[in-house]
Chains A and B, each alone.
Chain A
Amino acid sequence: MMGKIHIRHGRVIDPANEIDRIGSVYIADGKIASVAEEPAGFKADIVIDASNQIVCPGFIDLSVRLREPGHSRKATFKSETRAAASAGVTTMCLQPDTNPVIDTAAVAELIKELAEKANYPQVYPIAALTQKLEGNELSSMLALKEAGCIAVSNANQPIRNLLILRRAMEYAASHDLLLMFRPNDYWLGNNGCAHEGPVATRYGLPSIPDAAETIALDQCLELAELTRCRVHFGQISCKRSVIKIHQANKYGLNVSADVSIHQLHLTENDIKPFDSAYHVLPPFRTEADKQYLRQGLASGTISSICSDHQPHDIDAKLGAFPETDPGVSSLETLLPLMLKLVSQHAITMEQGIAALSEQPARILQLRSGALTPGFPADVCVFDPDMDWQINKQNWHSRGVNTPFWNQTFKGRVTHTLQAGKVIFCVPSYR
């Protein structure tokens, strides 16, 4: 039922409209009706009391894997969209490394269908930049765009050479497609699994230098200049990437960047000996890198935070560290870890919310990420002071691969609305 909803007595924070006040949000016909005066003749079907809670735009996640199609052993649209809803996430961009790869309109349509069936329609497929992500031939980007793909990306797969990347970027630019690029030089990465630093040296782990990221970033920046393709850098992990993006923007190149939430909290020193929960790509780097990423976020050089959600089955993480699959199941720690940044004074609450809503919407050129009247009513209501533990009872994702398992966090989503529909309500508030 898509009735009229009145969310009242909450602290409404809407960075895009510079709103931060105690008040109401009125929703009708799946859209934001008002955040100020009660619309004439408004009669709420549902009233949500948000006293002592924060009401903000629903979160937009720039990089997730939901493991369908192809890896439903790990997770499904049903399980992961449920996790997203419980985390206040109302829009997700799905990386193209599904099986089959998102390189045809048919697969893009299948994904839209899977999302509809899971009652969570706002999943945007990201199209493969090259066919089968093999880095050799261009995908049918226009057809993919028309089938609903929001951007193009080669996920974590290498492009054969820079000429192919150049042409892919030119072609993407011709159709005004955004390139989402995780910078990583495949050869320098050398099949590593940990940051090239003292910890990898001590444990004899194959390592990845930060130059693997910065060199690929440099090359892509040069090609962005040459091709005028819109580029968004995903999941950057080191200090010099922040500096390079800052400089590029200063000299007039319009590029954006995000960082995954766990990179803002963990470093190589946090890795428990051979604990595969800490196996991620890019790897956890140094304390200095972490501080630079935080500063980059505070200064706006890095505009967005993504979850980089990668749920795994237990077997994928059960083995010696280098042999396990990389990635963290991270949708459900997105908000509490963002709030931790606020409580540690790394960023303000407004910046944190903007990095999860207004900014990703801007990057994707979506009419959402704000509580602007007429926009889809994607809303997250959360209690910033509620303590909760990451455990089996509270967890929705099929993947339990998180280094934060059993930890207690402050800040929990109580209600999530997607296009005016309540898609999540925390049990204690029912």
Chain B
Amino acid sequence: MADWFTLVAIFLLLTVAAALVRCWRGPGPVERIMAAQLAGTGVIGVAVVLGAARGDAAFLDAALIGTLLAAIAVTAFVRGTAKPGAKE
């Protein structure tokens, strides 16, 4: 059964790689940040799955930190956005 979880982890890594292709291609800044976000979700999934495969609950703390800090990069990215025509 643990092998299945490892297989799932491999597959999740491949989806992260696919997301990173879009990050490479862009075209816009929003796409790149979205790709980083999707890669983060993939990595959280891998941490959960690896934790199950190894039976180590501490892996979940890593996943939990990942989810808590996941939104910060996006928040920082959009913070300076202003309405067109609005004064700075």
A and B pair up: no
- The chain B residues found within 8 Å of chain A, CB to CB, are none
- The chain A residues found within 8 Å of chain B, CB to CB, are none
